[in-house]
Structure 1
Amino acid sequence: MPSADLPLNAITTATSAAVEANVANAQVLFTGTVRPQGTVGSDITLGSYHVQVDEPPALGGENTAPNPVEYYLASLLSCQVVTYRFWAQRLGVEVDSLSARAEGDLDVRGFFGLDDSVRPGFTGVRVIVDVAGPESEERYRELQRAVDAHCPVLDLTTRQTPVVTTLNVEAR
């Protein structure tokens, strides 16, 4: 049985109580805004944080910051690590060390419209997780199954997410 006094389990317990008291407490809204910067770069505000996005020269940028698909890989990796840590505590799985890396295959013909049969996004992503500790391999595989079932950014990739784009045009 996982210990309720571990910090991540305490967060889960508190969240569970808040949601039980009022299911509306389960809903969270995340927002972001963006302004163009440079030739193809962006200045993005995410809550109280600012991040920069650019492209390598081959894609018209100045390589001053990660590009959007690199930020996707960063989002996926960081979400995986957070989810591994939460679920390790929840399942009572001891983890001595944890690291992950990811790589994605992208064919630029889709983005540039050179071949409309080519997808503009990643055609494949590989996540490699390295975990060590005193548990059996099966316990770590159980942990991986829990992470794969509960990682929000992985879910965004593996299941279709409805996106509605609204274009507001101001006539001159």
Structure 2
Amino acid sequence: MTSQLTTLNDISDATAQAVATDPANAHFVFRAAGAPEGTVGSVVTARTHRVVVDEPAALGGADTAANPVEVYLAALISCQVVTYRFWAQRLGITVDDLAITAEGDLDVRGFFGIDDTVRPGFQAVRVHVRITGPETAQRYAELQQAVDAHCPVLDLSTGATPVSTTLDVG
């Protein structure tokens, strides 16, 4: 575990140094591309990785993979995990065990256009973090505040992110 924490320290330090040298080093562009698969499924490629997405049978899919909102929950959880690890190291907080779950409430009337006053996405998301270790509850609350302030995927949900769509018809 110590070498892993040292690696996280090294990554943080190297990144801070690279950004101090040239602020342009802080900018990354992440890309993904997707195509349909099956009735309502898709395959998304990000760098060299494939993410298969499908819907449960009740929503027209073959239930071969997690659906898009479950993939979002997985992205949120995994981002929380890495952010907890980085910030625990940065704040000098020992974490013996970390487990995160998330659930969201979705009303399909918005997606299907049954009621256009209903939001098509989650109406609410609940994240539950279970953390153990030798620190006080106050120290873990400090860690949670740092994570909530710095988790990129949480920020996507709580902040306004401009999204533009270009349609090429061909």
Please state which band the TM-score falls in when normalised by the shorter chain.
over 0.9
Structure 1 segments unaligned to the other structure (5+ residues): none
User: Which residue does 1:26 correspond to in 2?
Assistant: 26
Shift of 1:9: 1.4
- Report the aligned-residue RMSD: 0.8
SS of equivalent residue, structure 1 residue 163: coil
**Alignment deviations for residues 52-76 of structure 1 (CA, whole Å, 9 cap, x no partner):** 1000111110000100000000000
CA distance in 2, matches of 1:47, 1:58: 32
**Alignment deviations for residues 58-96 of structure 1 (CA, whole Å, 9 cap, x no partner):** 111000010000000000000000000000000000000
**Alignment deviations for residues 80-133 of structure 1 (CA, whole Å, 9 cap, x no partner):** 000000000000000000010000000000000000000000000000000000
- Structure 1-normalised TM-score? 0.95
CA distance in 1, matches of 2:7, 2:33: 32
User: Which residue does 2:134 correspond to in 1?
Assistant: 134
SS of equivalent residue, structure 2 residue 164: coil
**Which runs of 4 or more aligned residues in structure 1 lie more than 3 Å from their structure 2 counterparts after TM superposition?**
none
SS of equivalent residue, structure 1 residue 99: strand
CA distance in 1, matches of 2:91, 2:155: 20
Give the length in aligned residue pairs.
166
CA distance in 2, matches of 1:52, 1:136: 41
User: Aligned AA for 2:14?
Assistant: A
CA distance in 2, matches of 1:30, 1:135: 36
User: Which runs of structure 2 are paired with 1:97-136 in the superposition (5 Å)?
Assistant: 97-136=97-136
1:79 aligns with 2:79: yes
Kindly, what percent of the aligned residue pairs are identical? 63
Structure 2 segments unaligned to the other structure (5+ residues): none
SS of equivalent residue, structure 1 residue 148: helix
